[in-house]
Chains A and B, each alone.
Chain A
């Protein structure tokens, strides 16, 4: 059996891990400096303002072109996800009904299991309970 120290693949993976740690550590020192905070927030403030203005202009542009904006598309996507979820629920319900009756006839909603479960004896808390 070969020793892992001589395995080039293991060495490569180890080197990557060390590189990641080294870069992150070095970068974190720079990122923790007040100079970085100042520069980042100056640039970020300008960018955020411009981003907002551009977003507003694009929103108006899409309205004037009678096209949906990104936020409207996100809204539609979320509604679609909800509909997909509900369809999935219906599918599962139908599958359950099929299992229960062997037909597609609707069955009553499954009853909730009883809330009577007890923990294994060894798991009871030993500390003070409030």
Chain B
């Protein structure tokens, strides 16, 4: 049984002094905040291997003297920029992988141009991903490639792997990847087919604007932006807090537009008909059955993920045909699972211990 809380009167003067100092620092740092830019993000040295419209393929320069045989291709979600994987030194997933001896490539996205509004799911799954895998094979000289997909990048990777069970994917790692789209309850409601006319929207706007994507993410936690601003002011004296805030805020608001036809396909096939979960998904006329995936698979999900709830993600492991498969549930949210202090101590070491034995 714990003792009742008591007020330590002797500590009050120190506490007051500390708060006065913080109040002064808030004023000084508050001015500095608006007069300065945030930390440079995505600065790990890399080479561009291919640019095709919205698609970018990067190769990061190795940081170890000896690297694993099998290279890694990271497939980024199409809604956000890939620098979430490469924030700042010490908090960069890419840097972590490079230092642990992996050879890392990234398939990243930029805003699709108006003339790219006709891009469809098949362009991403049957063209961009195979194109990048070929380039990774050529550049590394290795036939096998390990693939890591984040969020919807995981969906794209799964679709590719299910259509190409004999393809070059040696093992697959998915982070917070949705399978049962009925369980993304708020997104389901926003795109309720009785009220949401996706054809009208896409026909009207072409590419779906980033403001709309961002609003739909922010509506999942409508109070959080205001509270975060208050917390920022509260902690503005703390340089580390501000640095972290600026990194994540910049990334979260740096949302990408989505190609119109691609968005139409996602809405109809996944949000409305839930085809991936039902086993009826096809891409470009080719069946995408998760049971055909036989390669080793790791699925990392976050305990407090408000974007892809566990209920939406938990079906992946039972549905794939792999015998070597594992799901790990880690503390954190959709973003803190993969980046920031939480990821440094939880996901990254777990991933390294799983992947290193499958990279030789």
Q: State the A residues within 8 Å of B (CB).
A: 1-3, 5-7, 9, 12-13, 16, 19-20, 23-24, 27-28, 31-34, 36-38, 40-42, 44-45, 48-49, 51-52, 71, 74-75, 78, 82, 85, 88-89, 92, 112-120, 123-125, 127-130
Contact string, B101-122, partner A, CB cutoff 8 A, digits 1/0? 1010000001101100000000
Q: Closest CB-CB distance, A23 to chain B, in whole Å?
A: 3
Task: Tell which of B113, B185, B358 touches A125, judged by Cβ atoms closer than 8 Å.
Answer: B358
Q: Closest CB-CB distance, B32 to chain A, in whole Å?
A: 22
Q: Do A37 and B190 have beta carbons less than 8 Å apart?
A: yes
Q: Closest CB-CB distance, B351 to chain A, in whole Å?
A: 11
Q: When A82-B48, A118-B360 are in contact, do A3 and B8 touch as well, CB less than 8 Å?
A: yes
Pick 29 A–B contacts, CB within 8 A, sort by A.
A1-B8, A3-B8, A5-B5, A16-B234, A19-B223, A20-B221, A23-B227, A31-B190, A31-B219, A37-B189, A38-B192, A40-B190, A41-B190, A41-B192, A48-B201, A52-B204, A71-B114, A74-B111, A82-B51, A88-B43, A113-B66, A113-B67, A114-B67, A115-B67, A115-B69, A116-B69, A127-B296, A127-B324, A130-B295
Kindly list chain A residues whose C-beta atoms are within 8 Å of the C-beta of B358. Answer: 125, 129
Q: For chain B, which range describes its interface: under 10, 10 to 19, 20 to 34, or 35 or more residues?
A: 35 or more
Q: Do B67 and A45 have beta carbons less than 8 Å apart?
A: no
- A42 vs B32: C-alpha distance in the bound complex, in angstroms? 43
- A51 vs B51: C-alpha distance in the bound complex, in angstroms? 30
Which residues of chain B in 218-237 are interfacial with respect to chain A, using CB atoms and an 8 Å cutoff? 219-224, 227, 230-231, 234
Q: Do B357 and A112 have beta carbons less than 8 Å apart?
A: no
- A116 vs B65: C-alpha distance in the bound complex, in angstroms? 10
Q: When A23-B223, A24-B224, A115-B67 are in contact, do A3 and B190 touch as well, CB less than 8 Å?
A: no
**Number of CB contacts from chain A to chain B under 8 A:** 164
- A13 vs B167: C-alpha distance in the bound complex, in angstroms? 51
Which residues of chain B in 302-345 are interfacial with respect to chain A, using CB atoms and an 8 Å cutoff? 322-326
Q: Do A123 and B357 have beta carbons less than 8 Å apart?
A: yes
Q: Closest CB-CB distance, A68 to chain B, in whole Å?
A: 15
Q: When A24-B224, A45-B201, A123-B357 are in contact, do A130 and B189 touch as well, CB less than 8 Å?
A: no
Q: Do A130 and B296 have beta carbons less than 8 Å apart?
A: yes
Q: Besides A52-B206, A123-B356, 16 other CB < 8 A contacts?
A: A2-B8, A9-B19, A16-B227, A20-B227, A34-B192, A41-B195, A71-B113, A78-B111, A114-B67, A117-B64, A117-B67, A118-B360, A127-B324, A127-B325, A130-B296, A130-B324
- A37 vs B322: C-alpha distance in the bound complex, in angstroms? 39
B359 close to chain A: CB less than 8 A: yes
